[in-house]
Amino acid sequence: MKNALVSVFDKEGLEPIVRQLNKCGVTIFSTGGTQKFIESLGIEVVPVEDITSFPPILGGRVKTLHPRVFGGILGRRDLAADLAELDKYEIPPFDFVVVDLYPFEKTVAEGKPDDEIIEKIDIGGISLIRAAAKNYQYVIIIPSKDEYGKLLDILTNQNGESTVELRKELARRAFEVTSNYDTQINIWFSGEGMCFNKKIFGAKTLRYGENPHQKAAFYGNLDEVFTQLHGKELSYNNLLDIDAAFNLIGEFNETTFAIIKHNNACGLASRKSLPDAWKDALAGDPVSAFGGILITNAGIDEATAKEIDNLFFEVLITPSFASEALDILKRRKNRMLLQSHPFKFPERNFRSLLNGVVEQDRDWKTDRIADMRQATKLAPTDNEKTDLEFANKIVKHLKSNTIVLAKNKQLLAAGTGQTSRVDALKQAIEKAKSFGFDLHGSVMASDAFFPFPDCVEIAHHAGITSVIQPGGSINDEKSIAYCDENNMSMVLTGTRHFKH
């Protein structure tokens, strides 16, 4: 480690770094206020203009933007041609680049006039950061005062040596700094006052938002997810339902059909044949299915298309359409027909709230039969275990509080979005009975634990014989005891699936 370029706005915390650089025999190059600060410490510093042969110009707007500076940062140390050019033009290779950008965001927050804000848009510093981060294989980049401690540790405890993994992590942090900095500038120029930037893609303007008076746009690449073969332009609400549909159908490997309404499944069945899956999914709630979003993990054939064509629906999603099926379904011009593609969901979920954004891991956990822990004396039968797993896959994707009733891999009914679990169960039972389902021998899934044994008591009186729930209530034993006394089985998963 021979050379360091130091150019920072905030000098707080810089002194121990330059002293340690000096102690390690590193030549320090600097300019402007940073150079003066280092000189005031009695530490030798080389002005950048000594290597550029050019003084700062335009009132300090241009100081480091020069080939002899950026060549020293970007030169590849294991490439003979690069080393030869550095030697030819007498360019010192930089091993450390230490930067702290002009405080643009702070200047805006202080309500400074536009001309002062403009002068706080850092040009040279941001370029130094990007160049050093790009060349992280050879250069340590310290992109802000927040990372001063990392550099001090490298200099003090590691004798200036670093691993490529550490340099890559600092480079990642560097691009995070530059991305946020540019976002803040964009916010100021756009005048919107708030912007969340994770990854920015081209914006697709939607017809309207959740309601016609709300403007909306989608940021992403829908072409990676599906191809729209027919129908009108997708709306904000369509996309919410489509997202819910993709998340749900991804839980199933067997031929499955699901019907989504307002982000919740109102019908779902897994069968050996697609027409049977459609028929039994529709039977779950033929009323709510009107105007719904349909999704399947199997290709739509002519026979299924003829059955589906009898229902008014908004969107149909499938991996493929038989040509005869497409001809049938295209008869109504506004139907949105989407051919799905394999794609990977992002690892994280984001939601705007209050004056910011919350971020969390996606709920990847799917509770399998192997995850079930028998809690009651009576064990569920093999068929019940299959239905318990089936029901729990669905309950994971419904709005809390929610209860799912299922039998023979068919959604009989669900109670969704209720303020009490008892209400969710009563809603599900009433709905199932209204569509003629016999609940005897059915199973019940709950997205969270039962705080009291009232739910299993109600379920028992309705004919439900087996229950799956996370467990974790101080009253678990009361619910388990009721099941034991009434010949019901219960399994616990240990995993809650709230969805708000």
Phi, psi of 352 (to 5 degrees): -80, 135
Cα distances from 251 to residues 113, 326, 391, in angstroms, run 55, 26, 11
Number of helices followed by number of strands (H, E) in the chain: 18, 21
134 noted as active-site residue: yes
Catalytic residue (one of 120, 134, 150, 204): 134
Q: CA nearest 345: which of 204, 229, 251, 447?
A: 251
Q: CA nearest 178: which of 150, 221, 141, 220?
A: 141
Cα distances from 359 to residues 196, 324, 347, 353, in angstroms, run 11, 44, 10, 11
66 noted as active-site residue: no
Cα distances from 397 to residues 52, 436, 460, 498, in angstroms, run 62, 25, 25, 9
**CA 446 to CA 456: how far, in whole Å?**
11
Phi, psi of 293 (to 5 degrees): -110, 125
Neighbours of 397 (CB within 10 A): 25
Cβ proximity of 11 and 98 under 8 Å: no
Beta bridge partners of 3: 27
10 Å CB burial of residue 272 (0-12, 13-18, 19+) is exposed
Burial 50-68 (b: 16+ CB within 10 A, else e): ebbeeebeeeeeebbebeb
Cβ proximity of 4 and 21 under 8 Å: yes
Cβ proximity of 210 and 228 under 8 Å: no
Catalytic residue (one of 262, 279, 306, 433): 262
Which residues fall within 8 angstroms of residue 113, CB to CB, at 6 or more apart? none
Cβ proximity of 378 and 357 under 8 Å: no
Q: Is 116 helix (H, G, I), strand (E, B) or coil?
A: helix
Total residues belonging to the chain: 500
**CA 178 to CA 294: how far, in whole Å?**
43
**CA 406 to CA 392: how far, in whole Å?**
9
Tokens at 387, concatenated:
């239905």
- DSSP at 379: P
How are beta strands 140-142 and 96-100 bridged, if at all?
Answer: parallel
Hey, which residues are catalytic here? 134, 262
